[in-house]
Amino acid sequence: MWKAIVMALARVRDWFRGSLVRPAPRGSVPHEPGSLPPGYEHPAPLPPPPPPKIIPYDPTYVAAGPNLVKNGSFEKGNFGPGTETIVSSSGVIEDWRLIVNALNGPVRWIESFSSAAEGKRFVDLTGGRTLLTAPLATLLQTAPSYPLQSGQSYEVAVDLGVGPNNGPSENFGPPVVVSVSLIEPPGAVEWQFISNPLNPPVGTGVKWETHKFRFAIPAGYPLSPTNQTITITGNYGDRFIGVDNVSVRLLT
């Protein structure tokens, strides 16, 4: 009896010392110390959300609400005297940065009440030069005025303009090719627009066409002010690629 009491007290002592080794349940499988027993594995990590994607046009949804692009019609900025300002660096057109390469430099910022698609000013991505190599200049805007949201869909719209086609040596624009991209890689969505109207202007003037595409951002996709961008790049156009009235609106 006393022996049983002494053994019981020793077990209590070992319990408090943390050295008690409990016998494994009958039928259990031994496992290494610090590892989980069979059937208790860590759950697999959830896969990352898919990236944003282009979606087809659905007439049941409409683009509504404010324009998420700041100064989308290029009305604001440090416009010089006259009807045309040559822009070769960022900060001249308000809210827009300018990216140029060695061969295809500045853009033209034009003021014309009769020729703009919206307001009185627009941008010519060629700067008035004969096409050399693509890409031409790029307009870029970071962190739209109202941040994009995951789980939402949007419509992008831009007006592209071509000048008069007065023959091989006097062709101002048509056709023009422009790519528009939103969100930084790897989640970028991009669409290429081609404007080649059947009846371009003759003599003078600008012919505008509105181009659109839609995209969706899956729920849970990570967004931050630094990866929310919109870029507009001239890919092809002879002496004239008009850009005006840029917008990004929520689909409801």
Domain containing residue 118: CATH number:
2.60.120.260
How many domains does the chain fold into?
1
Residue 75 has pLDDT above 90, yes or no: yes
Residue 97 belongs to domain spanning: 53-251
> Is 38 inside a domain boundary?
no
Residue 237, φ and ψ in degrees, nearest 5: 165, 140
- Asked if residue 109 lies in contact with residue 76, where contact means CB atoms within 8 angstroms, the answer is no
Q: What is the pLDDT of residue 89?
A: 87
> Is 206 inside a domain boundary?
yes
pLDDT tier for residue 153 given thresholds of 50, 70 and 90: very high
How far is residue 80 from each of residues 87, 125, 134, 137, 189, measured CA to CA in Å?
10, 18, 28, 20, 35
Residue predicted with more confidence, 44 or 231: 231
Choice among 53-57, 139-143, 157-161, 200-204 with the minimum mean pLDDT: 200-204
> Is 169 inside a domain boundary?
yes
Q: What is the pLDDT of residue 181?
A: 96
pLDDT (mean) for 204-227 = 92
Residue 24 has pLDDT above 70, yes or no: no
Q: What is the pLDDT of residue 208?
A: 95
Residue 108 has pLDDT above 80, yes or no: yes
> Is 14 inside a domain boundary?
no
pLDDT (mean) for 225-232 = 90
> Is 180 inside a domain boundary?
yes
Coil, helix or strand at residue 2: helix
Name the token pair of 239.
Answer: 């002496």
pTM score above 0.85: no
DSSP assigned state of 10 = H
> Is 221 inside a domain boundary?
yes
Q: What is the pLDDT of residue 39?
A: 61
Residue 160 has pLDDT above 90, yes or no: yes
> Is 119 inside a domain boundary?
yes
> Is 2 inside a domain boundary?
no
Q: Dump strand ranges (E) for the chain.
A: 53-55, 63-64, 84-87, 97-99, 107-111, 121-124, 138-142, 153-162, 173-182, 189-195, 207-216, 229-238, 242-251
